Amino acid sequence: MKNKIDRFRLEYDYLSNFYPVCVRVEGLEYLSAEAAYQAAKCARQEDRALFTELGSRDAKQLGRKLPLRADWEAVKVQEMEKIVRAKFAQNLHLARFLTETGDAELVEGNTWHDTFWGVDLKTGAGENHLGKILMALREEFQKNGLPEQDQPPCFRCETSEDRIQVQLRDITQIPCDCIVNATDETLLGSGEVDMAIHRAAGPQLLEACRALGGCCTTEAKLTGGYRLAARWIIHTVGPRYPMPGHTELLVQTYQNVLNLAKEHGLHSIALSAISTGRFSYPKAEAAAVAVDAVRRWKREHSDYALEIIFADMDLVTYRCFCKAFKTKENSQ
């Protein structure tokens, strides 16, 4: 374990307030701790609801434009403590990851010169209040155990007419037979979603992936789910955009994933938005191709019961899939 964690990114991205996760604060459900924090700054109570529909960056921009509550400087640390606690207490997998940092010093190192919540990596100056809040919460969890979850985690969901769902939700937390990991040819946890799945599943997954010997574009391979809510993981490699034949290759990728699920007798599956991350496939186009490919597969296998969920914590991706559902339904 590192003695100091000074960048809240890659395997430690969940420590950042920008990490996409649903957080319920004072009756409102936000898509990140950052959105909840920016809402808490508002002088007008009615403005806070605006932040429930925003990702972290958009929330931060809006927070700079709206009137600031008069007592903000006096209460901002207290508000941050409340929001960070809500984030981890409502998402116990993140609380577990926090405790697993051991006794490492947590420092919100940054390059944007925030010396109140973090530390300027160039100068080394900073009060590191966010890091201190995280370490205090970690110590509490390590001493007393993780809190009991009194409410189910919040997430958003749309269901199409043919019962396919899209959920704005952490795919690692979906209780289903199988989730799909959109990875690269190495299978070694290199992308954001890939890394999140490896972190949640635990070190056994890496060993299982090494034994598979890599994966070609459109290919699908199966491992156990280990610590996940899902029993199995299907790993697949989608096409890079705009490689020749990318549309057909993306269709084939989804077909191979669903065929493998059927081959192993799986009856519920959560699909990630394949190729939309590092492989640069435009989200709206990828969503349209994915919805069409899945519907075609369901028609061709109408005798097989398979519950299908598209899951992503990216708000833009979620909206693209919702739009693809409606567009396809209207054209049928």
Please write the tens of the pLDDT for every residue from 263-304. Answer: 999 999 999 999 999 999 999 999 999 999 999 999 999 999
- Please check whether residues 167 and 270 belong to one and the same domain: yes
Q: What's the rounded mean pLDDT across residues 155-174?
A: 93
- Please check whether residues 166 and 305 belong to one and the same domain: yes
Domain assignment present for residue 240? The answer is yes
CA dihedral 107, 112, 117, 122 (to 10 degrees): 40
Output the pLDDT for position 272. Answer: 93
* Band of residue 314 on the pLDDT scale cut at 50, 70, 90: very high
Q: What's the rounded mean pLDDT across residues 172-195?
A: 92
Domain assignment present for residue 219? The answer is yes
For position 238, which CATH number holds?
A: 3.40.220.10
Output the pLDDT for position 20. Answer: 95
* Band of residue 149 on the pLDDT scale cut at 50, 70, 90: confident
- Please check whether residues 40 and 111 belong to one and the same domain: yes
Question: Where in the sequence is the domain holding 71, given as residue range(s)?
Answer: 4-144
- Please check whether residues 302 and 184 belong to one and the same domain: yes
Task: Supply angle C-alpha 235, 237, 239, rounded to 5.
Answer: 160
**Is the model's pLDDT at 326 over the cut of 90?**
no
What's the mean per-residue pLDDT of the chain?
95
Q: Single out the residue in 118, 144, 170 at which a domain terminates.
A: 144
| 240 secondary structure, DSSP code | P
Q: Single out the residue in 122, 144, 166 at which a domain terminates.
A: 144
Lookup result for tokens 């493998």: 260
For position 140, which CATH number holds?
A: 1.10.357.40
Output the pLDDT for position 332. Answer: 55
DSSP notation for 88-154: HHS-HHHHHHHHTTTTPEE--EESS---SSSEETTT-----HHHHHHHHHHHHHHHH-PPP--SPPP
* Band of residue 1 on the pLDDT scale cut at 50, 70, 90: low
**How many C-beta neighbours within 10 Å does residue 260 have?**
21
Nearest-angstrom CA–CA distance, 42 and 40? 6
Q: What's the rounded mean pLDDT across residues 313-320?
A: 95
**Is the model's pLDDT at 154 over the cut of 90?**
no
Q: Which amino acid is at 67?
A: P
Q: What's the rounded mean pLDDT across residues 150-160?
A: 83
- Please check whether residues 319 and 172 belong to one and the same domain: yes
- Please check whether residues 169 and 318 belong to one and the same domain: yes
Nearest-angstrom CA–CA distance, 224 and 140? 32
Q: Are 167 and 309 in contact (CB under 8 A)?
A: yes
Q: What's the rounded mean pLDDT across residues 226-234?
A: 97
What six digits make up the tokens of 122? 């160039």
CA dihedral 291, 279, 178, 21 (to 10 degrees): -90
Q: Which amino acid is at 69?
A: R
**How many C-beta neighbours within 10 Å does residue 135 have?**
18
* Band of residue 329 on the pLDDT scale cut at 50, 70, 90: low
Q: Single out the residue in 93, 119, 144 at which a domain terminates.
A: 144
Q: Are 145 and 307 in contact (CB under 8 A)?
A: no
Closest CA to 87 of 12, 166, 34: 34
What is the pTM (predicted TM-score) of this model?
A: 0.91
- Please check whether residues 132 and 184 belong to one and the same domain: no
- Please check whether residues 258 and 179 belong to one and the same domain: yes
- Please check whether residues 127 and 275 belong to one and the same domain: no
Q: Are 194 and 183 in contact (CB under 8 A)?
A: yes
SS3 (DSSP) at 190: coil
